[in-house]
Each structure stands twice: as structure tokens, then as C-alpha cells.
Amino acid sequence: MARRKLWRTIPCALLAATLSGTLRAQVGPSATPPAPRPPAADVLRPNGQTQAEADPIVANVDGHPIHLSELGLAGDTLPDNLRAMPFDRLYPALLERMIDHQALVAVARRQGMEDDPAIRREIAAATEQVLEAAYLRREAMTKVTEEAIRARYNQEFGSRSATEEVRARHILLVTQAEAEDVIAQLKSGADFATLAAKLSKDPDGQHGGDLGFFRREQVWPSFADMAFSLDPGQVGPKPVHNEFGWHVIRVEERRIVAPPSLPDARASIRDELTAEAIRLVVRQARAQLPIHEFNADGSVRLDRGPNGAGTP
């Protein structure tokens, strides 16, 4: 696995290193930052055509043509500081790197490396990854449209009014007696964060028990009732119990938060819709196929038919 990951990073690393050295030699360390480069598909050629309209051959290595679009795609894999360079500045170094790439591939093929079983497995794995990504782009990503984003925004935030949030700390204790003793110490002037770090059974005790901001519906009802009844700086007069133990609560801040605007929510909604679309496509793909699962010892774990029906 480590070798596979390393092999996949070598071409990008070589490309970035080649371009960095070339560009430093051309423009020096004090050069003015260039204007952003447009996406590869929109790079203009001298005749005014875009790459989508004309994709000329820019080099030929042992009979293998290298097209302009390949340089554009290679440029899109660069780090941000290099990807922002104008395409005509990147062009010579991109061309040389693609020639290097094809030369290495050609020699590897001449030496029969494609016939090495380990390499053939890696090629097959890479092909499967490309097919998986292409299928998801076609079946899932096309569903994540601006219309879908707007509809989800209206569903989640369209009718939501401003809501109150509190920022609170808590100390989790095993017994009610322990919790009441902590409350007594706090009344005597003990520092809440210090006690949380020392006594709390919850991992966030190491951060002073800070829970950050939350809305009422994001915590269990009894905890919310106590937290939202306190003013900043107040500690709950009695501990709150739930399945995890006894909680001593202190409120740090309260605020009223308006729902996010569509521009602010767009990225998170897109991620949410993308995840949902991918899960749906995966379920649909699995439902079409017979799937046989086995335990680590080779015994049958589960057999599923095309519609998801399974027998242990």
C-alpha cells in the first residue's frame, strides 16, 4: 500500500519540482504574482479557439502523441501557487514534464514491466478507481444542481427564524454525590475549567469541559432545560443526570443566531447532497448484483441477491 501511494505521488511531485525550479530561474524570487490561470478547457490558443474546439498535438514521443489538453490537465494537479500562473508561462515546463512522462512510460513498456504481475494488479486497481469515479460523476454528481441546492436550503432554512444558542461547559461525574460536591467547590470559588480537567469523566474535560455553542435541540432535554435557564457565568444549582452520569453545567455565553444565507450555506449543502447522492448510487449498484460475503476464516458470512435479499 505504501509503495502504491508513493508511485502515485511521484509524477505530481516531479512536475511541481520541475516547474518550481524553472519558474524561479525565469522570474526570480521578487517577481510580481501573476494573474490566475483559467481552467484547462478554457485556455485560448493563438488562433482564438478554445481547447474544447481544438486539441492540437504539442509533442510526439516514440509515436505517442501528446495533446494540449494533457498539459492543461497536468497543470490542474499543481499546487495552488503554481496553478495560478498564466498558462503561457507554465507551458514550456509542462511540455517538458509530459515528454519526460511519456519517455519513462515508453521505456518501461519496452522492458516488459506491464507483464509484471504486481504491476498489472496496480494497473487494474487504478483502472477500477477511474471507473468508480467516472460512474459516480455521471450518476451522482449530476444530481447536485443549483436547483437542488436551493430546494434544500429552502427546506432547511427558509422558514427558520433566528434561534438562541448557548456556549456551556460541563463536568461529568459518576455519582450524584460527587457532582454535588463539585457544585459546592465552585460556590466556594474553585475554577470550573480546572475542576473539569481534573475530575470530569468526559474527554472534553481536558479542554475545561467546553462544549462550544449549541441549540436547544442539539442536546438532550434535561441538559437543555438547565443550560438555557442560566445566565452567562452561572453554574446550575443542581446536577443533571442522563445515561452517561451526572453533569455540572456552567453557561459562558448566550447569543441569537440568524439562519445562514444561501451563499454561506451553499458549500455545506452541496457536500450534504453529494454524500446523499453517492450513498443512493452505491445502494442502487449493490441492489443490481449478487454479493457473497465471507468471514476472515473463509466461511460464508452472507449471500445477497440482486434486490438486497440475503441469507446468512
Estimate to the nearest angstrom the gap between the alpha carbon of 21 and the chain centroid.
31
In three-state secondary structure terms, 37 is coil
Q: Check if the beta carbon of residue 51 is closer than 8 Å to that of residue 42.
A: yes
Say how far apart CA 17 and CA 242 lie, in whole Å.
56
Say how far apart CA 24 and CA 147 lie, in whole Å.
45
Phi and psi at residue 112, in whole multiples of 5°?
A: 75, 20
In three-state secondary structure terms, 210 is strand
Q: What's residue 44's pLDDT?
A: 38
Q: What's residue 272's pLDDT?
A: 96
CATH architecture of 163-257: Roll (3.10)
pTM value surpassing 0.75: no
Q: What's residue 81's pLDDT?
A: 81
Nearest to 280 by CA among 127, 157, 148, 126: 148
Name the strands in the sheet holding 310-311, side by side, starting at the edge strand that comes first in the sequence: 291-294, 300-304, 310-311
Phi and psi at residue 182, in whole multiples of 5°?
A: -65, -45
Domain boundaries, the chain: 2-115, 125-160+264-312, 163-257
The cell numbers describing 261, all together, are 444565507
Q: Check if the beta carbon of residue 140 is closer than 8 Å to that of residue 274.
A: yes
Is beta strand 57-61 parallel, antiparallel or unpaired with respect to 300-304? unpaired
Q: What is the pLDDT along the chain (312 residues), one digit of tens a residue?
A: 444 443 344 455 555 555 555 544 444 443 334 444 444 444 434 444 544 457 899 999 999 999 999 998 888 888 888 878 888 888 998 999 999 999 999 999 999 999 999 999 999 999 999 999 999 999 999 999 999 999 999 999 988 889 999 999 999 999 999 999 999 999 999 999 999 999 999 999 999 999 999 999 999 999 999 999 999 999 999 999 999 999 999 999 999 999 999 999 999 999 999 999 999 999 999 999 999 899 988 888 877 766 655 555
Core vs surface per residue 259-294: b (16+ CB within 10 A) or e: beeeeebbeebbeebeeebbeebeeeeeeeeeeeee
Q: What's residue 46's pLDDT?
A: 43
Which letter does DSSP use for residue 175 in this model? S
Q: What's residue 73's pLDDT?
A: 87
Q: How many CB atoms lie within 10 A of CB 96?
A: 15
Q: What's residue 35's pLDDT?
A: 40
